[in-house]
Amino acid sequence: MARIAPLSGFPEWLPDGRVVEQHVLDTLRRTFELHGFAGIETRAVEPLDQLLRKGETSKEVYVLRRLQADPEAPDNDKQLGLHFDLTVPFARYVLENAGRLTFPFKRFQIQKVWRGERPQDGRFREFAQADIDVVGAGELPYHFEVELPLVMAEALGRLADVGLPPVRILVNNRKVAEGFYRGLGLDDVEGVLRNIDKLDKIGPDAVAALLEAECGATPEQAKACLALAEISGSDASVIDAVRALAEANGAVTELLETGLAELGALVEAAAVRAPGVVVADLKIARGLDYYTGSVYETVLVGHEGLGSICSGGRYDTLASDGKNTYPGVGLSIGVSRLVSRLLSAGLVRATRGVPTAVLVAVTTEEERAASDAVAAALRSRGIPVDVAPKAAKFGKQIQFADRRGIPFVWFPGGDGGQVKDIRSGEQVEADAATWEPPAQDWWPRVVPAV
């Protein structure tokens, strides 16, 4: 067999890492379900022309070919590619099933996606995403733009007890930015946003120069754009600051006021429901070229260099069939990026890598059925149990459990047997029909690693 080596960009976890990932996935799913999101899955492939509709992502797509497709005969199959996100497939699913769904339709979707990008720390070619979206038929009230980031804040907050650092959800609003720029007299909104997005990389002076050179801004207009980008905060004062800046620059527009009312409602609701988590940050420009209202990015506090772990926004046209338009708002968690950091930075660990709470020892191979019977009795009450693979010396069987982190070893005998906590050495008589492990030992748990 050829030498086996990992493939760069295609992460896999050992069993104890998978316990961590599974806990994250279970927690997200449960939170989404508590908020009434229905779970769906879509196929991994979409027609290539659908994947390339937006143009900009073409370089990331993996195209499929059947190895035995006849190269001589015209290929009857539509050309297919692997999906690179869960938004494009969801939009297609909504159109395909519009007559069978009820709107507004709230769905969550947890699946792998694929991008042929160069792998880097936190950037993979195959990774899991967890998305929530609400899509309306024709209309979608603004309050969903307030609720969805709060659902994500709650979902991520439920991971704090296992060692997830606090998150900060940065929000902005396309209407605020566009209203402000247009009020200033700058109509190349996309151009301004594109350059503002470079602030962290090249600094304010270079951005100002680009705004003047590329977007026709005067030095005063450029300065006002930079001043807007500096505003951030987690209460209503941020709205006042933007309005004051707009007034000072004669940049108040109706669009700006609409955007400020929306952003203000979000910040206010967040201050009550997720204090300290949501921050209005007027510097956020990424995504504002295609989102039409709110936009969200999320950083792990202390791990800002990892980039956003949960992003999204509002689309006035998530999907459209020409006759009907489906506006949507949603966010997507980069689960693999998050889990990869949790594991590589040693933030969390699983208490064990196997589900097993109890190993039933086997006295002799002839008596294996007695051990199987004990295991069946425990399992019937929901206790995860394994039976020793071999009737080796008990010391070896205890070692088997110890190596896997299995806390209890059961020695069958008579009517029940004895169960030993191999951490403390304590051994007691027990009845397989009634004995239970302590709650904290029942299933593997995910705990802070420190």
Return binding residues for L-histidine.
85-87, 115, 129, 133, 286, 290-291
- Decide: is 428 part of the binding site for a copy of itself (CB under 8 A): no
* Residue among 201 and 323 whose Cβ is closer to a copy of itself: 323
> 308, 340, 356, 397: which one contacts a copy of itself (CB under 8 A)?
356
- Decide: is 202 part of the binding site for a copy of itself (CB under 8 A): no
**Phi, psi of 54, deg, nearest 5:** -85, -5
Distance CA(131)–CA(327), nearest Å, equals 16
On whether the CB atoms of residues 111 and 42 are closer than 8 A, the answer is: yes
For residue 257, the cross-strand partners are none
- Decide: is 83 part of the binding site for a copy of itself (CB under 8 A): no
Residues 6+ apart with CB under 8 A from 106: 35, 36, 37, 38, 132, 133, 134
> 130, 152, 263, 354: which one contacts a copy of itself (CB under 8 A)?
354
Residues 6+ apart with CB under 8 A from 164: 156, 300, 338, 342, 347, 348
First CA to last CA across the chain, in angstroms? 40
Closest approach, Cβ 162 to a copy of itself, in A, equals: 17
Closest approach, Cβ 416 to a copy of itself, in A, equals: 19
- Strand 385-387 vs strand 358-360: parallel, antiparallel, or unpaired? parallel
Closest approach, Cβ 380 to a copy of itself, in A, equals: 9
Among 6, 11, 202, which Cα is nearest to 121's?
11
Closest approach, Cβ 437 to a copy of itself, in A, equals: 13
What are the tokens at 412? 């069958």
Closest approach, Cβ 215 to a copy of itself, in A, equals: 29
What are the tokens at 357? 């709470």
- Decide: is 69 part of the binding site for a copy of itself (CB under 8 A): yes
Q: Print the binding letters for residues 260-299 with a copy of itself: x by CB under 8 A, - otherwise.
A: ---------x--xx--------------------------
Question: How many binding residues for a copy of itself (CB under 8 A)?
Answer: 96
* Residue among 90 and 411 whose Cβ is closer to a copy of itself: 90
Q: Which of residues 105-144 bind a copy of itself (CB under 8 A)?
A: 106-107, 112, 114, 116, 126, 136, 141, 143-144
* Residue among 209 and 269 whose Cβ is closer to a copy of itself: 269
Show contacts of 422-428: CB within 8 Å, 24+ apart: 422/398
> 56, 66, 120, 305: which one contacts a copy of itself (CB under 8 A)?
66
Which single residue is written with the structure tokens 């921050």? 279
